[in-house]
Structure 1
Amino acid sequence: MKASKSLKVVMVPWLAMGHLTPFLELSKSLAKNGLQVYFVTTPNNIARLPKLPPNLTSSITLVSIPLPHLDGVPDQAESSMDVPSILQPLLKMRFDLLESPISAFLEEVQPDWILYDFTSYWIPTMAAKMGVSCAYIALFNAASLSFIGPPSALLGNVRSSLDDYTVVPCWIPFESDIAYRPYEVVKFEHSVDARIATSDTVRFGNSIAGCDFVGIRTSPEFEPIWINLLEKLYGKIVLPIGFLFPDCNNDDNEDLNCDNWAFFKEWLDRHEPGSVLYVAFGSESSLTQEEVYELGFGLEHSGVPFVLILQDPPGSDKNVIDMLPEGFVGRVAGRGLVHRGWAPQVKILRHQAIRGFLSHCGWNSVIEGLGLGRVLVLLPVMNDQGLVARLLVGQGLGVEIERGEKDGALRSESVIKAVRLAMVEKEGEEVRIKCRNMTSVFGDNKLNDGYIEAFVSYLEENKKSK
C-alpha cells in the first residue's frame, strides 16, 4: 500500500557522488511509494545527477542551495571529487555553512522527516527545535559502522592514537579480523583530526546519537550478526533499507553522459562471455603515480582481457594515462581497453563479457558488482574501503591484492596473482560461485523493495505529531 503524499521527506546528502547517488535512489524508491521528497544539494551537484524518470518528477523536488564561499576551497568545488583528499576537511567546513539556509528551507517546507548523511551532524538539533522527526541514513555496511563504534566511543574520543584503528575494538564481542592496516590509517588521518574542521568521529557520533532511528544500506541476508550488534551499540532501531541497487533496465538511472556506451559495447561485444575484467576506482579514489604504473604492468602481464577506467587526480594537472608504463596502451590494444574519465559502470558490468570487477571497495561499487554476480578483485584505497575488503574476504566474496605490509606498496606481481586467481585459475572457482550467488541478495528487486516498504511504513507510523 502506498503512503499518503502528505508525508513530506527532506533528504540532505553529503557532497560526494558516492553519497548523492544512493540518496537519490532512495528518494526515487520513496517517491514510488507515494511520499513527497525534497532533495537538497548544491547547483553543480544537481547538474551531475542522473535525470529523474518522468513519472517521478512531480514527487521529487530538487532543491538547489548555493554553497557559500570559504577561503581555501575553489568556489566551483562543490563535491569531494573536485578536491584532493587534503582539502576534504575544508570542504566539510564549507558544507557546514549550509546549516542556516537549510534551516530556513525546513522552516518553509515543514517536513515530516529529515533524512540526513553523517556530515550533517547539526540536523538533529535543528529537527528537535522544529519538532520534526529525523533519521540518519548510513550508506556504510553494518560491519564497518560497528568497527567505527557507538556514539559514546566516537564522542569520547576513546581511540587515543591512530594505532588504535589497527586492532579490533573491545565492543566487538565475537571473533573478527575487520580492522585497518597501518598504511591505511595514514590515509584517513585528516578525517579524524579536529584541528582543521569538525572531525568525522564527532560528525558520526552526533548524527547517530541525535537521530530517532538509523536506516542502513544493507540487509540481514548479508550481515545479520553485524546489524544485531550495531543496534545494541547504538541503543536504537537500526532499520535495513536494502542495497538501493540501480534499475539496470532503466536508462534514466545512468548518468546523463551516456554517449560513450556504444564505444564500450562495441569493444565488449568482440570478447567471449565471462572473459573480461572491469577495473575502476570510483569518482574519488586516486592512485599514486607508482600505483598506476604497477597496476598497469600487472594487468598487461596477467593475460586477462580488461577494461581500465582511470580518473585524473583531483586538483592536479597530470594526465592519468601518462602515469601508465610507457607504451602500455599500444601493447595491450585489442586485449585491454583504456579509458580516461567517466564510464557507464552499471551498463559495462552487466555486459555478458564481464566476469570480474577490480574495485577500490567503495560500497556503491561492491553493491553493483555483487548485484550482477561479478567476482571481486579488491584494492582498497581510502576511507572505509579497507574494512569493506576485510569483510568481503572473510565471507569468501573477493580476492584482495596484497600490498607491502609496512608501507602499503603495490607491486605488479600481486596484481597478476590476484587477477589470475579470481578470473581464470581453478582455485578461484569457489569465490566466483559465491559472488555469482550474491545476485539473489544484492540484486533481487523483490527482496530490496520489501525493505523499502518496511522503511516507508516505519516513517508513517513514527512521525512526530505537529
Structure 2
Amino acid sequence: MENRKELHIVVFPWLAFGHMIPFLELSKHLAIKRHHISYVSAPRNLERLLSKIPQNLIPFIELVPVPLPRVGKLPPNAEATSDVPFDDVELLKKTYDGLKEPLARFLEASSPIDWIIYDYPSYWLPPIADRLGIQKVFLSLMNGWSSATFGPSSKMIKDGDGTWSNPENLTSPLEWVPFNNNIVYRFHEAKNSLGAAQTNASGVSDMFRSGSSVRDCDIFAIRSCRELEAEYLQLLEELHGKPVVPVGLMPVSVEEGQRAKDDTWQSMKGWLDEHTKNSVVYVSLGSEFALSQDEITELALGLELSMLPFFWALRKQAGTQPELPDGFEERTRGRGLVWTNWAPQTQLLAHDSVGAFLTHCGWSSIIEGLQFGRPLVMLPFVLDQGLNARVMEQKKVGIEIPRNNRDGSFNKISVAQSLKVVCGDIHGTIYRDEAKKMSRMVADKNLHNQYMEEFEAYLHNKRPKPEA
C-alpha cells in the first residue's frame, strides 16, 4: 500500500460564521486523514469555534489567531459579520484586507505548506501563495446555479459590458447558460445585490474579489453535489477553465451541530413537545441581514393570521431593535413563541413537531431544512437567496411568498396564505412529499462523506511533487 504523505493545509475563511463553520467542517474531514490543518481567523472567532472541534482532532487542527487591524467606526470586538450591522460589512472587508501582510508572514514562517483553501474576498492571497509555491483551492459556499449566474471570472473582474450596472440585466435568462434556465433575479433582488458589483467602503467590489479569487485558483471546490446539479458543475468548469470539485453538501447531524445549553433547550423542547407532529412553522431569516420594521410587522401579522403554531427565531442583528406589533405576543400566546436569543437551528428543525421552515434561503439554511424533510416557505432578500428560492420552487420543495417585483414588499395576507398552502392545504401535499424525497439525498452522510473522500484524494494526488 502507498505510504500516503500527510499534507499541511492552511484554511482561511471569510469572517462570517456561515463561512467559518463550513470551512471548519471541511477541515475536520481532512484532519480525520491525519493532515495538519492551520485554520486562520481572528482570535475571538477561534474562541467561538473551539468547542466544535472533537477532542480526537485537536492535535491535527491548529487554530491560528491573527488580530484584525482597526478600521473606521468598527467596534474593537467586531471580528465577524454577526458583530456589525449589515451596512458595516464592507468595513469588515477592509479590515480583512489588512490581514494580507500578517498572513504572508505566517505562510512564510510555516513552510512547507502544500495547499491553502481560501474564500471569495481574498483576491490578494493567490499571488502570495504563488510566490511561496503553495497550491490554491478556492472554496465556494454558493451552489453551482448561483455561481454560474455571475459568468466567467474575466467578466466578473472587468464587467466590460456593464452587466452589473443595471438590475434589469439580471432579470432575464443569461447568455452564458446554454440550457433552459429561468433562475434569475427579481428586480428588487438585483437592485439590492448590485452594490456588490461597485466599489464600496472596502475600496474593492465583491465582483472583483470573487472574479480574481476564481481566476487565480488551481482548484474550484464547491459545496454541492452532482446528484443535485451536475449540469451546473460542468458549466462552471467550462466558464472558468478550472477543475470543479464538489465537496458535498456537508449536512450536519444534531449530534454534530451546535447545541443549546440543556436548560435553554429544555425550555424550547418543552414548548415544542406541546404541539402535534409536523404542526409548527419554524421561522428564521438569518442573523446578518436586518429586516425593515415594516417587513417585521407584516411577517408577524401574517403568522398571526395563519392561525398556525410557530417558533420564530428573531435574533436581533447588530445595531437594530426590531419591534413586534402591539399585542402580538399576547394574541398568539401558546400558539406562537418568539425567541430573541441565539437558537440551535439544527435541533429545532429536527424536532418532530416542526412541519415547515420559513427561511431567507441562505444555502446553509436550505440544506439544514431539507435534510430533515421540512418543506420551505421562502422569503429571500439579497445575494444568492433569490436564486436559491427559484430553484427550490422548481424542485417543488416549497413556495415563495408573493411580493412586489419592483420594491420587494409583501403583506400579511401573502404570508398567511403561503404558510397555509405549504403546511396544511391539499395543494401543499406535493411540497411536503418532495421535501421528504429530497431529504434522502441531502441527509445521506455516506454520500457526502464520499465527496469529501474524493476531494481529499484530489489534494493528495495533485500535491506539489518534491524536486529530484
TM bucket by the smaller chain? over 0.9
Name whichever of 364-373 and 169-178 sits farther off: 169-178
Structure 2: gaps spanning 5 or more residues:
none
- Shift, 1:259, TM fit: 4.6
The answer as to whether partners of 1:4 and 1:34 remain within 8 angstroms in 2 is: no
Matched position secondary structure for 2:296: helix
Q: Compared with structure 1, are the counterparts of its residues 351 and 169 closer, same or farther at alpha carbon in structure 2 (3 Å cutoff)?
A: same
The answer as to whether partners of 2:42 and 2:79 remain within 8 angstroms in 1 is: yes
The answer to whether the aligner puts 1:302 opposite 2:302 as a matched pair is: no
Deviations 1:171-215 (A, max 9, x none): 011221111111112322332221532111011111111111111
The answer as to whether partners of 1:168 and 1:177 remain within 8 angstroms in 2 is: yes
The answer to whether the aligner puts 1:216 opposite 2:217 as a matched pair is: no
Q: Which residue of 2 aligns with 1:113?
A: 115
Deviations 1:233-286 (A, max 9, x none): 111110110011113233xx3157665111111111111111111000122122
The answer as to whether partners of 2:126 and 2:136 remain within 8 angstroms in 1 is: yes
Q: Which residue of 2 aligns with 1:418?
A: 418
Aligned residues: 460
Q: Pairwise mapping of residues 16-415 of structure 1 onto structure 2 (< 5 A)?
A: 16-49=16-49, 50-110=51-111, 111-157=113-159, 158=161, 159-163=163-167, 164-196=169-201, 197-250=203-256, 253-254=257-258, 259-316=263-320, 318=321, 320=322, 323-415=323-415
The answer as to whether partners of 1:3 and 1:33 remain within 8 angstroms in 2 is: no
CA distance in 2 between counterparts of 1:18 and 1:161 reads 28
CA distance in 2 between counterparts of 1:182 and 1:340 reads 31
CA distance in 2 between counterparts of 1:120 and 1:246 reads 26
> What letter corresponds to residue 280 of structure 1 in structure 2?
S
CA distance in 2 between counterparts of 1:5 and 1:422 reads 51
CA distance in 2 between counterparts of 1:279 and 1:5 reads 46
The answer as to whether partners of 2:86 and 2:290 remain within 8 angstroms in 1 is: no
Name whichever of 27-36 and 450-459 sits farther off: 27-36
- Shift, 1:329, TM fit: 0.8
- Shift, 1:137, TM fit: 0.5
> What letter corresponds to residue 145 of structure 2 in structure 1?
A
CA distance in 2 between counterparts of 1:141 and 1:440 reads 19
CA distance in 1 between counterparts of 2:89 and 2:426 reads 43
CA distance in 1 between counterparts of 2:276 and 2:392 reads 27
TM-score under structure 2 length normalisation: 0.95
CA distance in 2 between counterparts of 1:380 and 1:276 reads 21
CA distance in 1 between counterparts of 2:265 and 2:233 reads 38
The answer as to whether partners of 2:82 and 2:317 remain within 8 angstroms in 1 is: no
TM-score under structure 1 length normalisation: 0.95
**Runs of at least 4 residues of structure 1 off by over 3 A?**
1-5, 255-259
CA distance in 1 between counterparts of 2:396 and 2:228 reads 12
The answer to whether the aligner puts 1:456 opposite 2:456 as a matched pair is: yes
Deviations 1:323-359 (A, max 9, x none): 2111111111111111102101000100111111100
CA distance in 1 between counterparts of 2:419 and 2:3 reads 47
Deviations 1:277-321 (A, max 9, x none): 1000122122110011000000011121110011223223x2x2x
> What letter corresponds to residue 53 of structure 1 in structure 2?
P
Matched position secondary structure for 2:226: coil
CA distance in 1 between counterparts of 2:317 and 2:191 reads 19
Matched position secondary structure for 2:236: helix
Q: Compared with structure 1, are the counterparts of its residues 65 and 326 closer, same or farther at alpha carbon in structure 2 (3 Å cutoff)?
A: same
Q: Compared with structure 1, are the counterparts of its residues 386 and 246 closer, same or farther at alpha carbon in structure 2 (3 Å cutoff)?
A: same
